[in-house]
Structure 1
Amino acid sequence: MQKNSMIIIGAGFAGLSAGIYAQMNGYSTQIFELHTLPGGLCTAWKRKGYTVDGCIHWLVGSSPESAMNQFWREVGLAQGREFINLDEFLRYEGSDGRTVVFYSDVDRLEKHLLDLSPKDEPVIREFISGIRMGIRFDQQPTERDSGITKLIKGIKMGWLFLTRGKDMRRWMDTTAEQFANRFQDPLLREAFKEIWYPEFSIFFIMFTFSYLHNHNAGYPIGGSMPLSRALEKRYLELGGQIHYGKKVEKVLVENDRAVGIELADGSQHRAGRVVSAADGHATIFKMLDGKYADEKIKEPYEKWPIFPPLVYVGLGVNNRFENEPKTVSGISFALKQPVEIADQTLERLSVHVYNQDPTLAPDGKTSLTVMIPSSYAYWKEMAKDPVEYEEKKEQIARQVVAMLEQRFPGIGSQVEMVDVATPLTFERYTGNWQGSFEGWLITPQNAGSIMSPMKQTLPGLSNFYLCGQWVEPGGGLPTGVMSARRLLKAVCKEDGRKFITTQA
C-alpha cells in the first residue's frame, strides 16, 4: 500500500476538489461515489426536455478580480464559463399592493428601501452600512497581485477589522429575524425575514449583497450540472479515478489508523490515507460507528441547526415569462388563503423563474422551481407506504400549480412538466443528513466557526480526514473547494512537501 495513495469518499464539490489538489501534488487518488453522477448536491435532472436545477442560484467568486476566482480556475470551473449578473436578488410582493425589491446594486437598494419606509431610516442605514463594509472586504489580496498591492490590501483589511470589528461581532450575533423585528413597517419586517432563513446571521446576508454589488456572485449559464462536470473533467485529466454507483459502508481501521474502505457489495479497497467528503453524520456515526467522536465532535450534530430539508418542485412551462423580472432567488407572493403542503401551512409562495437561462428549457419555454421547507421525519413516516408517498407527491404537484395560478393567471394550461423531490430524494442520491440541501445553517451560535474553521481530523484516528460542508459551516460550493484546498495543504505539510497548484 503506497503512502501517497488516497481514497476519497464522495464526488461532490469537496471530494472532486480534494482529488484535484491531491493529483496536482503527486498523490494517487480514487473517488468512490454513491450516485452515478458527479457533483453531489450541485446537481440537476432532466424531465420531458426541461432541466430541473437542484442547486445554483449564484456563485461567489464569479468575478475574475476576486480572490475566490483563482480557486475556481485551479479546479477548472471558471474557464469558458459565462456568468450573468442580475439586477434583483428577490422580489417580495406584499398583500397591501406594495413590493420590496432587493436590488443587487447597494445604492439603488438603499434609495428603494428609504422610499418605501422613511421612518425606518436608522435600520436601513445600518443594513446598507454592513453591505458597504462587506464590499470593502471583498477586495482581498490575490496571488495575482504584486507584492506592494498585497501589502496595501492587507493593511486595508487589517484596518477594517480594527475599526469595524465590533460591528461585525454584533451582526454575527444577530439573526435575520431579530434584525427584521426592528423595522416599524410591517412589509419590511416580513420581507427581511424571507431574504434567507430567519435564524440566519444577518452578517452573512449583508455579505451576500456585497458580493452581488461587486458582480462577484453571478449566475453561471447552464446551471449546476456543467459546473460539476467541469470539476469531474479536471480531476480525470489529472489522472484521478472515479468509481460511480459505489456506496461506502465502512471505513476500515487497524490500530487506530484508517487503511481503506468497505463498500456495500462487501469489497474492500485500501490506501495510505482516507478522506471523507461525504455526509458528516454518516461518516462519523455509521462508517466509523461513532468510535472517534468526542463531545466536541458530537456537539454540532446534537445542537446546531441544519439547512431545513425541502420539498423541491420543478416545473416546465410553455411561456417565456418575458415580462417578469430576472432575479437571483425568485418572487415571493401572498396566497389568497393558507394552503397545507405536507406538514407545512403556507401563507406565501416563493417561485424561481429561470427566465435568465434559456438553456434549461426548450426554445420559448421556461423552467421554474419552488422550494418548500418540510420535515424529514414526516416524509420518512410517509414512505412506509410507497403508494401513499407517491400520491402525496402528486397532490403537491397539483397544489403548487394551483397556487402559481394566483400569481400567473393561465399558467395551469401552460405547465408541461411537474417533478416533485422530497427530503428522501436528496438523501437517496446524496446521502446528506436528514435530506438537508446543505450543511450547517449559519447562526449566531456557530458564526465564529467561519473565522476559525472546524478540524478536519478526528481524535485518536490517524490517516483519516474530513472535508466539505460539514467542517465548513454555511456550506455552499465555495466552501467545498476551500475545504479541500485547506486539507491538501495540511497533508502536504505533514509529508514535508511544498503545496503547489496549477490551472487548467
Structure 2
Amino acid sequence: MSRDSRLVWHARDRAAGEPPRVIVIGAGIGGLSTGCYAQMSGAETRIFERHVLPGGGCTAWSRQDYIFDYCIEWLIGTGRGNDASRVWRELGALDGKTMTNFEMFNTVTDEHGRSVTFYNDPDRLERHLLELSPADARPIRAFCRDLRRFTAINLYPFLTPSRLQTLREKLVTLRTILPALLLFRRAAGTRMERFCERFQDPLLRRAFPFIFFQDHEVFPLLPYLFNMAGAYHDNCGFPQGGSLGLARSVEERYTGLGGRVDYRARVERILVENDRAVGVELRGGERHYADHIVSACDGATTLHGLLEGRYTSPRVEQLFTGMEDRPELLYPGVVSAFVGLKGELDPDSPHSTTYLLSDRDSAALPGVRQKSLVVQMRSRYSDGFAPQGKSVIHCTYFSDYASWKTLRRTDRKAYWARKQEVADFVRGFLERQYPGMSENIEVVDVASPVTTERYTGVRGGSILGWKSFTPVDGVLDDLINKDRMSLAGLEGLSLAGQWFSGGGLIRAASSGRFVTQYLCRDLGLEFRAWESGGTDPWHPGKLGELPQLEQRRVR
C-alpha cells in the first residue's frame, strides 16, 4: 500500500510512523514549487487549487484551436551553470524542452516610423546605436561598456535565503559581488529615466525604458544590464510550451514525486487552534488537516479571507495596508489582445516591437497608460500556439484596473463594448503596420485586467505584483529572512508566492524552495533537492484540455 493511500487527511492527527503532512493552498508556481521540494524532503503534501489548471498567472487559454499563452515573455534560468537554472531543473520545468533565444530583447518604433533594436550583444548594440545617433556616443558607449562587464557576472541567488546560508555560500556570493561592487552600486543607483536625459536623439531618449517591452517606470539601469547580459548567454530564453507548459511540467514533477493536486477545490478558511494552523476548510464545509499549512495564493486573500484578519505582522501589515494602494509600488493591470490569423508571419520582422503611439492613437486605445502598444509574434516563440499554416500575435499594454472593474460591475454591456474598442483598434493598427493582415484575421480575443483577476486570482490583474527597486524590496527581504515567511503569533503557517517573495516566476519558484527549507526545520526533516533529469520530449498535447476564457466573444 502506498503512503498516499494510507494517509487520512480528514484525521486531526497523523498515525505513528507516517511522514509529516503539508497542505499547500494554490497550485501557482509558488505552490507547486513548495509541493515539489516538500515531497523531495520527505513530507506528504496535498495542494488545493480553485481553478481547473495549474500555474496561477502562468497560464494560457484557447479559442478556435489557437492557444493564447499569457505570462512568459522571457524566463530567467533557461541556460546552464547558474542557480536559477538549477531551480527550474529541480522542478522539472524545462524537461524535454527546446529553448527559443532571440538576438534582441525588443525593437521600439516611434509614431514617425523610426526604430531602434536592443540587441543583447554589446558590440552589435553599440554599432547600431551609433549609426542611429553619432551625437550620443558618450552615453551609448557607457551603457554598452557596462553591458560587457555584466556579461561576466553569473549570479542568481535563488537557492537559499540568506538567513540559512552557510559561511561557504556567503563567501561564494561575496567573491562574485566584490569585484563588481562599484558597478552594481552605480547601475542600481542610476534611474533609467535620469540616464535617458543624457541622449540628444528623441527616439533613444524615449525608447530605452521600453527595452523590456513596457516602461517599468521605477527601474534603474541594473535590471536592464543584468537581463540583457543573461540573454546574451542564452539564459533568458522562452521554453517550449510557454507559460502553461511550464506549469504543467512542474505539476508533472510534483505528481511524479507522489504529490496530489485537487482542482476545483476552493479553500474558504484556514483552521486555527490555539494559535496554530492545523488544517483547511473547503467550500462546502469539507475539512482537511496537516502538520503545516503553506498559503501560496493571493496575499490579501490569505490575510483577510482565509485567516479572517486575525493574524498579521508589522511587515505584512506594511505591505497590505501601507503599500497595496500605492500605484508607484504595484504593477498596473494589463490588457491583452490575442490575434489569430491565417498565414505565416514574416520571418524578417522583429519577434517583439513596442510601438510608441501618437496622441491620436493613445486617445483611441481604451485605458492605455504609457502611450505604447507591444506587438509580439507569439507563434514564433514556440510550436503549437497556432494550427498548421496559421499564426498568433499578442498585443498588450499597461492599463488601469479600477476603471475596467467599475465598468464591468455597473454596466456589463459597456464593458463588452470597451473590449470591442480594443479589438477594433488592434485590428486597424496591425493593418497599418502590415497592410493586408486584417483580411487574414480570424479571431481577436481581449482580456482586461479584470479578466486576469477572475481567471487567475491575481488581485487587481497585476501579474507581476510588487515593483522591484522600491521600498517593497526591503520589506520582502525582512519577511523572508527575519520573519521566516511566517506570521507573528501563528505557528504552523508559512507564506509563499509572488506577494511574499516579489514578482517574476523565478522568485515565485524560489519562494517554494525557501519556505520548504524553513518548514523542514520545524518538522524535523532534512531538506533535499535534486534535478529531475526527465527526458520525455515536450509536445503540445501535454497542455491538456484548455478552457475558453469567457463565453461571449469579442467580434
2 CA distance for matches of 1:159 and 1:122?
Answer: 31
Report if aligned partners of 1:86, 1:326 keep a CA contact under 8 Å in 2.
no
Which of 461, 467, 472 is the equivalent residue of 2:490?
461
With over 3 angstroms needed to count, the CA separation of the structure-2 counterparts of 1:263 and 1:497, relative to structure 1, is closer
Identity over aligned pairs, percent: 36
With over 3 angstroms needed to count, the CA separation of the structure-2 counterparts of 1:437 and 1:480, relative to structure 1, is same
In the superposition, the TM-score normalised over structure 1's length comes to 0.91
Instruction: Write out aligned runs for 1:89-488 (5 A).
Output: 89-138=105-154, 158-196=174-212, 197-301=216-320, 302-303=322-323, 305-327=329-351, 329-335=352-358, 337-338=360-361, 339-344=363-368, 347-354=371-378, 355-384=380-409, 385-447=411-473, 454=480, 455=483, 456-473=485-502, 475-488=503-516
1 CA distance for matches of 2:266 and 2:191?
Answer: 38
In the superposition, the TM-score normalised over structure 2's length comes to 0.83
SS state at 2:309 partner? coil
2 CA distance for matches of 1:235 and 1:65?
Answer: 23
Which shifted more, 114-123 or 374-383?
Answer: 114-123
SS state at 1:56 partner? coil
SS state at 1:91 partner? strand
| Corresponding position of 2:41 | 25
Structure 2: unaligned runs, 5 residues or longer: 1-12, 160-166, 533-555
Deviations 1:248-277 (A, max 9, x none): 222121221111122232322221111011
Which shifted more, 179-188 or 113-122?
Answer: 113-122
Report if aligned partners of 1:492, 1:498 keep a CA contact under 8 Å in 2.
yes
Deviations 1:372-403 (A, max 9, x none): 22211111111122222222212221121112
SS state at 1:360 partner? coil
Q: After TM superposition, give the deviation of residue 199 of structure 1 in Å.
A: 2.0
Counterpart residue type for residue 408 of structure 2: A
Counterpart residue type for residue 184 of structure 2: M
Counterpart residue type for residue 495 of structure 1: L
Report if aligned partners of 1:66, 1:142 keep a CA contact under 8 Å in 2.
no
2 CA distance for matches of 1:478 and 1:28?
Answer: 24
1 CA distance for matches of 2:370 and 2:224?
Answer: 24
Instruction: Write out aligned runs for 1:49-68 (5 A).
Output: 49-68=65-84
Counterpart residue type for residue 501 of structure 2: E
Deviations 1:42-93 (A, max 9, x none): 1111111111110112111111333322222211112211002111211111
| Corresponding position of 1:40 | 56
Report if aligned partners of 1:139, 1:153 keep a CA contact under 8 Å in 2.
no
Deviations 1:273-306 (A, max 9, x none): 1101111121122222333223321223332622
Deviations 1:410-429 (A, max 9, x none): 22111111111111111112
Structure 1: unaligned runs, 5 residues or longer: 144-150
Deviations 1:93-147 (A, max 9, x none): 134443110112222112222332233333223323443343222167999xxxx
